[in-house]
Amino acid sequence: MNPLDFTGKTVLVTGGGVGIGRGIADAFADAGANLIIAEIDAERAAAVQAAHPTATVITCDVLDRATPARLADVVQEKAGKLDILVNNVGHFVHALPFSMLSGDQVDEILDTNIGQLLRMTAAMIPLLREAAPGSSIINVTSIEAYRGIPYCTVYAAAKAGIAGFTKSLALELAPVGIRVNDIAPETTDTPQVALDIMIPPENRANMDKWIPLGRFGTPADCAGAALYLASPLASWVTGTAIHVDGGALAAAGWIQTPTGEWTNVPMVSGNGLKIPGQ
Ligand SMILES: NC(=O)c1ccc[n+]([C@@H]2O[C@H](COP(=O)([O-])OP(=O)(O)OC[C@H]3O[C@@H](n4cnc5c(N)ncnc54)[C@H](O)[C@@H]3O)[C@@H](O)[C@H]2O)c1
């Protein structure tokens, strides 16, 4: 039996219209799963529906307090169980020094990244229990859950919070056979982190030196990790993370110079993260 055949399995992907969520949705569809996608943007929802005509695409805002129960009703009606929950929605929202964030902005970043994820997970656990043992939750965090990032402090705190939640929930759900893991991407080319906008042309010459494996990520890189984590190949894997990062976390401050020499004292230009007006 092919462990990466998801025929008969139902997968819910939040934010499956573009980017990493779309890459994950495409991969599960290719592997035979029944797709349910929650997507806020009507155009993106229409595009993913056109690509996967048998998928159930719900146009909704996962931050809306009523959405998790609504989606649970859809999953119940379509399949009566949920095999895989992919909590993908997240956004840095405001790239600003911590001292410049208002209280409302802090709340917005927290709810966009961890608040909605907790509510969605709570709503789906009864349906994941129906598919257990063997069902699983995959939370998309970030490499910033495992290292610091300037001007995205609250985003990084929320992502680190999800990593902690992943570990503790994994313990609670292990006895019933539901696994919980996270995928932590480094910079991945998506509409949220559009590399052609983020990296000015003059800075692109040595892009292959910044990440040990010589390139930035694509949504397909995360999709590969998601398929593995959801599959029986990972049946003894829970409460942990896969860093989908081309080796960036291992490298920490080490990069290669244009001539291929390794250094931890590089002279580089910025990538656009700066205090407004600076
Ligand atoms: N792209 C990266 O470099 C990167 C790096 C680390 C972590 N991540 C994480 O990966 C996840 C996906 O990131 P991405 O870059 O693919 O994002 P993206 O913004 O390109 O795509 C997100 C998708 O979710 C949808 N969406 C946004 N808010 C929603 C809401 N409230 N309700 C329903 N749908 C909503 C968007 O319309 C879009 O289709 C996020 O959690 C992000 O924090 C991304």
Which tens digit of pLDDT belongs to each residue from 4-32?
999 999 999 999 999 999 999 999 999 99
**Catalytic annotation present for 155:** yes
Residue 270 is predicted with a pLDDT of 65
Residue 196 is predicted with a pLDDT of 85
Residue 210 is predicted with a pLDDT of 85
What is the identity of the amino acid at 69? A
Residue 201 is predicted with a pLDDT of 79
Among the listed residues 146, 151, 155, 228, the single catalytic one is 155
pTM: 0.96
In a mutational test of the pocket of ligand 1, which residue from 89, 118, 138, 242 has the highest number of ligand atoms less than 8 Å from its CB?
Answer: 89
Residue 267 is predicted with a pLDDT of 67
Residue 190 is predicted with a pLDDT of 96
Pocket flag, ligand 1, residue 174 (CB < 6 Å): no
Pocket flag, ligand 1, residue 226 (CB < 6 Å): no
With a cut of 70, which residues of the chain have pLDDT below it? Answer: 267-273, 278
Residue 29 is predicted with a pLDDT of 98
Spatial separation of the C-alpha atoms in residues 109 and 112, rounded to whole Å: 5
Pocket flag, ligand 1, residue 243 (CB < 6 Å): no
Domains of the chain: 10-263 (3.40.50.720)
Is the torsion defined by CA of 114, 115, 116, 119 positive or negative? positive
What is the identity of the amino acid at 214? G
Spatial separation of the C-alpha atoms in residues 24 and 2, rounded to whole Å: 19
What is the identity of the amino acid at 135? S
CB 27 within 8 A of CB 226: yes
